[in-house]
Amino acid sequence: MTVSADDLQMLEDTARLWVRENAPARAGLGRDPALGPAQWRAAAEMGWAAAAVPEEAGGAGFGFTGLGALLGEIGREIADMPLLANGIAAALVARHGSDKARADILPGLLGGQLRAALAIGEGAHHGSALATTARQQDGGWVLEGRKSWVAGGADADVLLVAARGDRPMLFLADGKAVKVEAIDSVDGRAFAHVLLDGVAVAEDALLVGNGDLVAHATGLARIGLAAEMVGAGERALEIIVDYLKTREQFGRKIGSFQALQHRAALMLVDLELARSCVQAALAAADEEREDLEELAILAKYMAGEAIHLISTEMVQMHGGIGMTAEHVAGNYIKWARVSEALLGGNALLAERYATIRGY
């Protein structure tokens, strides 16, 4: 399942215009008041949530590479939209869901009428620890635990929950069956803690496949997030470079100073390294390769390195204006740090990489 280079370019161009027009990055503190269900409905009508699902399962057949391109465009404007969760949940349900889940839930996920959330990470470090439990009862399962920082958790109709039974398992849970605590996060995105207080789900809510599906879903989510992060880094660097080309001090454009030029060049180096990793990881997801988890770690790690540097420099290179709430730089650095920490920060990712690689 691959998307041609031309189709990918067209998808990206269309998405760029649409996101810039309908969900642009903005300055100011708190949640973006202009973003709401309307934008999501419109994006879903364009088929974005169906991007990674094959055509024979009712999807658009653009693969994860196509979904990654769309996420990159959303990331450019750091727009808080549930595409990552819906896109990945749809792909997982299409591939691993029960007949009932594919009949009842998949169409809503594909069309965006059902909003999904990925309830995977736990605790302050969103690491690979999995304390949420699943135990069998009355021919179904009971889920017990607490998920932290679930993007879109408060508004979700369907949650994809990672839990530990006799092995790591993935379940679909009804959004109305869980308790949510909305979080006022530094970056204003809509996160929530999700409390699973003895949530009963049917046997057909379980996703079934070879290998560790929790690791697989975590990998896909990390790749999707990394795609958004590279998009955000790309846009942030454009804004920085524009400023360097226009701002004058000492009678010259500050972008003519070599000290600043080299720092800008180093940002591009990190960004391009991260982009290569994200592309490779998206391709690995499309090819269902066994080293998906490694490549997902690599992609999120390098995207984290790039966006950490770029967002920090974005504030510094704008000088005083970059510190004010009137400028968009503050929103990029906040969005960056939250994204870096979600699903495991770089220290944790490096440790996990060493484990997989046998050292």
Paired residues of 117 in beta bridges: 159
Interaction of residue 256 with other proteins, rule CB under 8 A: yes
185 vs 183: CA distance, rounded Å: 6
Contact 203, 141 (CB under 8 A): yes
Residue 81 carries which DSSP code?
-
C-beta of residue 148 within 8 angstroms of C-beta of residue 181:
no
Q: Judged by CB under 8 A, does residue 264 bind other proteins?
A: yes
Which one, 79 or 303, has the nearer CB to other proteins? 303
The residues in 98-127 that bind other proteins, with binding defined as CB under 8 A, are none
Number of residues that bind other proteins (CB under 8 A): 37
Q: If you search the block for the tokens 């942030």, which residue do you land on?
A: 236
Binding window for other proteins (CB under 8 A); candidates: 30-38, 80-88, 252-260, 323-331:
252-260
CB 23 within 8 A of CB 79: yes
Q: Which is nearer to other proteins, 19 or 274 (CB)?
A: 274
244 binds other proteins (CB under 8 A): yes
- Smallest gap from Cβ 270 to other proteins, in A, equals 9
From candidates 20, 26, 31, 253, binder to other proteins by CB under 8 A: 253
Nearer to other proteins, 181 or 238 (CB): 238
Q: What mask of x and - would describe binding to other proteins in positions 269 to 308, judged by CB under 8 A?
A: x--xxx-xx-xx----------------xx--xx--x---
**Closer CB to other proteins, residue 44 or residue 278?**
278
DSSP β-ladder status, 168-174 and 158-164:
antiparallel
Instruction: Tell me the C-alpha distance between 59 and 108, whole Å.
Output: 12
The stretch near other proteins (CB under 8 A) out of 42-50, 81-89, 239-247, 336-344 is: 239-247
Q: Of 34, 113, 245, 321, which lies in the binding site for other proteins, with binding defined by CB under 8 A?
A: 245
| Cβ neighbours around 27 below 10 Å, total | 12
- Minimum Å gap between C-beta 192 and other proteins is 31
Listed in sequence order, the residues at least 6 apart from 124 whose beta carbon sits closer than 8 Å to its beta carbon are 148
Q: Does 258 interact with other proteins (rule: CB under 8 A)?
A: yes
Q: What is the separation of C-alpha 255 from the centre of its chain, rounded to a whole number of angstroms?
A: 33
Give phi and psi for 143, each to the nearest 5.
-105, 135
Q: For other proteins, which is the closer residue by CB, 201 or 284?
A: 284
Instruction: Compose the 180-219 pattern: x for residues touching other proteins by CB under 8 A, - for all others.
Output: ----------------------------------------
Q: Which among 227, 223, 222 is positioned nearest to 126, based on CA atoms?
A: 222
**Smallest distance, Å, CB 302 to other proteins?**
5
φ/ψ (deg, to 5) at 246: -115, -35
Site for other proteins in 339-358 (CB under 8 A): 346-347, 350-351, 353-355, 357-358
Phi, psi of 211 (to 5 degrees): 75, -170
The correct pick among 57, 186, 202, 268 for binding other proteins (CB under 8 A) is 268
**CB-CB contact of 106 with 132 (8 Å):** no
Q: Identify whether the C-beta of residue 43 lies closer than 8 Å to the C-beta of residue 81.
A: yes
Residue closer to other proteins, measured from CB, 164 or 253:
253
CA dihedral sign, ordered 124, 30, 303, 52: positive
What residue ranges bind other proteins (CB under 8 A)? 241, 244-245, 253, 255-256, 258, 260-262, 264-266, 268-269, 272-274, 276-277, 279-280, 297-298, 301-302, 305, 346-347, 350-351, 353-355, 357-359
